[in-house]
Amino acid sequence: MMACPNTKDFSAWINLMPGTEPKLIVTGRVETNSGSLQPHLVEADPQGINPKILLLNLTIVDSGGIGTADINYRDTRFEKPAVKDQYTDVEVIFEGKSCVSMKVSEAH
């Protein structure tokens, strides 16, 4: 099993701004060693036993083509419909290992 990739700037919030559909937004940056390798977040299946904690699987997807051969942090983003207080935490999992845990805030 590989170690977690380096990550930074992860945050999660439920957007409750007036005039928009409420949704959970998770953003962060993941280090990869090529521009063609992009971090991707998807809901884990199955989810864990606590429905207030959203589990997300992190994968590194090769977008094909020729990417820059640079080690750099690349943006990733996940969104899904959510309601106020639906989630308290988000946990990012890479190859079965928990890599990032964060509290969910709310934006009004």
pLDDT at 35: 86
* Residue 41, number of CB atoms within 10 A of its CB: 21
CB 80 within 8 A of CB 43: yes
pLDDT at 74: 96
pLDDT given at position 103: 98
pLDDT digits (tens, 9 = 90+) for 64-106: 877 777 899 999 999 999 999 999 999 999 999 999 999 999 9
Secondary structure percentages of the chain, helix, strand, coil, to 5:
0, 60, 40
Query: Could you report the per-residue pLDDT of 13-67, keeping only the tens digit for each?
Result: 999 999 989 999 999 999 999 888 999 999 999 999 999 999 999 999 998 877 7
Say which amino acid occupies 22: P
Q: What pTM was estimated for this model as a whole?
A: 0.92
Residue 101's DSSP bridge partners are 91
* Rounded distance between C-alpha atoms, residue 81 and residue 78, angstroms: 11
